[in-house]
Amino acid sequence: MKATTIRMHDTMLDRVDSLAKSVNRSRTWVINQAVERFLSYEEWFVHEVKAGVREATEGEVASHEEVAERFAKWDVNAN
């Protein structure tokens, strides 16, 4: 494992320390968990956006009629 240094507002570091104390973990553990969750979400999001752009480029999108039909199943007017 490599060490790194980050700059953080005092209030955020206080929140990290408070959470670490609440869950009986270290500051490092809390920060690592936060970074892991952030990266996992952002990687997923980028993947999904790229997949959506690819689908749109390839014409794999629902027509207005298809969307309206599906919304109508929930009694929502999509027009």
pLDDT tens series, the chain, 79 aa: 899 999 999 999 999 999 999 999 999 999 999 999 999 999 999 999 999 999 999 999 998 889 888 888 888 887 7
**pTM listed for this prediction:** 0.75
Give the C-alpha separation, 47 to 32, whole Å.
Answer: 22
Give the C-alpha separation, 65 to 79, whole Å.
Answer: 9
Q: What is the pLDDT of residues 52-61, one digit of tens each?
A: 999 999 999 9
